[in-house]
Each structure stands twice: as structure tokens, then as C-alpha cells.
Amino acid sequence: MKFYMTPGSCSTGIHILLEGLELPFEVYVVNLMAGDQNKPDYVAINPKSTIPTLVRDDGTALTEFGAIAYWLARTHPKAKLMPGDAEGDTLVIETMHYVVGTIHGQGFTRIFTTANFTPNEADYEAVKARGREIIEKAFAIMNNVLTGKEYVAGSYSIADAALFYVEFWAVKIKIELPPNCLAHYQRMLARPVVQRVLREEGYR
């Protein structure tokens, strides 16, 4: 398979899942700052110009974090990357949607790509502040979800790989994680596969 990713991005979560499954794949780095996502060769693979993208053995491409993670879990059931019961699976999917759609899509994008939200530079700080509010509220919600549990659904799942990448971002830009989220982040950091992926992506 071919995995198109950007170090330190949302694709880190998928990278962790791929490495954890010990699947053979080739890595292709998409330099977002250089605009690689808009180049014809990449657009031909992923017309959305987003990351991550996973091109499977049959040549078809999967996009969107949740879709790729779900496919990996369903096609490798022995890894138990989803709980397997209706309630647990629903919680995993609900959490992934919230992480990607709200914490990432509404919160961190206001901080990382502020210009996409306003053409007026005078408004940048207000946009970033709103992003921070969204992030902090969302982590408070996730903190409650994690109460009394080591992982989102009790045992490690694809939802934890999603939650980890936004926790990683929060720590990098010095947004304080609430206690349960911080414990989850540290628990994820202790996993050998996470350590290996971060090293491969250039982090110590």
C-alpha cells in the first residue's frame, strides 16, 4: 500500500494504526506548506487535496481519517481496534467524528490556518482565540468521556489514535490538557508503536 502523509499532522494517527498492524506500506510525504496537495499528480489520487490518503493494494484510494481507520479496523479484526459491540463501536465512531470534525476542524484549523477564516489580519487574534475556546471546551468533554477509563472505549481502539494527534498538537502549542486527557496522552506516548512513529516523523 501507499500512504500519503504529513509528519506531525492528523495523518500521524493513521501512521500509528498502520505501524501497529505491522502492515507493509510505502510512505509518501505531502508537503502542505509547499502546496504538494494541489499538484496534479496528487490530485489525481485524491481530488480533495487532503491528507491522509491510503492507496490500497488494488489501487483504490481511501481518504478521510475516520474512513481509513474504520477500514483498517474492519479488515484486521484480530487486532481488536474496535470493541465489537454496538455501544462500543458507536462510541469509537462518535469520538472520531468529534475529534476530526470539531477539535481539529473547528478548533485547531482556526489556529493553524487562520487566514482561511478571515481576509482581515486585524481579526486573526480573535479567530485564534475562538479556536482555542472550541478546543478547550472539547477537551473538557473528552475528559469526561475518559473518566475511569484508560482508553476511549475502555480498551485501545482507532478512536485513541485520533484523540492522540490532537492531544499532541495541544501539548506542542501549550494548550493545557485536562487530567484524564493528559493521562491518556501520556499512556499513548508510552506505547512503543507511538514512540517509533514519532521518531520516524522527526520528533523526539
Tens-place pLDDT, residues 90-115:
999 999 999 999 999 999 999 999 99
> What is the Rg, in whole angstroms, of the alpha carbon atoms belonging to the chain?
17
Asked whether residue 126 falls in the same domain as residue 71, the answer is no
Please give the model's pTM, rounded to 2 decimal places: 0.96
Read off the C-alpha cell for 45.
Answer: 489520487
101 and 55, same structural domain? no
- 40 exposed, middle or buried (CB, 10 Å; 0-12, 13-18, 19+)? exposed
Same domain assignment for residues 25 and 92? no
For residue 123, give the CATH number of its domain.
1.20.1050.10
110-147 as b/e: b if 16+ CB within 10 A: bbeebeebeeeeeeeeebeebbbebbbebbeebbebbe
- Is residue 198 situated within a structural domain? no
CB 92 within 8 A of CB 66: no
Instruction: CATH number of the domain at 68, please.
Output: 3.40.30.10
* pLDDT number for residue 204: 77
Same domain for 134 and 110?
yes
Active site residue 9: yes
**Residue 154, pLDDT score:** 96
196, part of any domain = no
Q: List beta partners, residue 62.
A: 54
The domain of 104 spans 86-191
Residues with Cβ within 8 Å of residue 71, at least 6 apart in sequence: 54, 62
117 with 159, same domain: the answer is yes
Gap between the Cα atoms of 111 and 186, Å rounded? 24
Q: Exactly one of 9, 49, 155, 157 is catalytic; name it.
A: 9
Q: Say how far apart CA 160 and CA 96 lie, in whole Å.
A: 8
Are 131 and 50 contained in the same domain? no
Question: Which parts of the chain sit beneath pLDDT 50?
Answer: none
| Nearest by Cα to 106 from 117, 118, 94 | 117
Is 103 in the same domain as 123?
yes
Domains contained in the chain, number: 2
Q: Confirm if 152 and 160 have CB atoms less than 8 A apart.
A: yes
DSSP string over 38-62: GSHHHHHH-TT--S-EEE-TTS-EE
Query: What is the Cα–Cα distance from 204 to 183, expressed in whole angstroms?
Result: 19
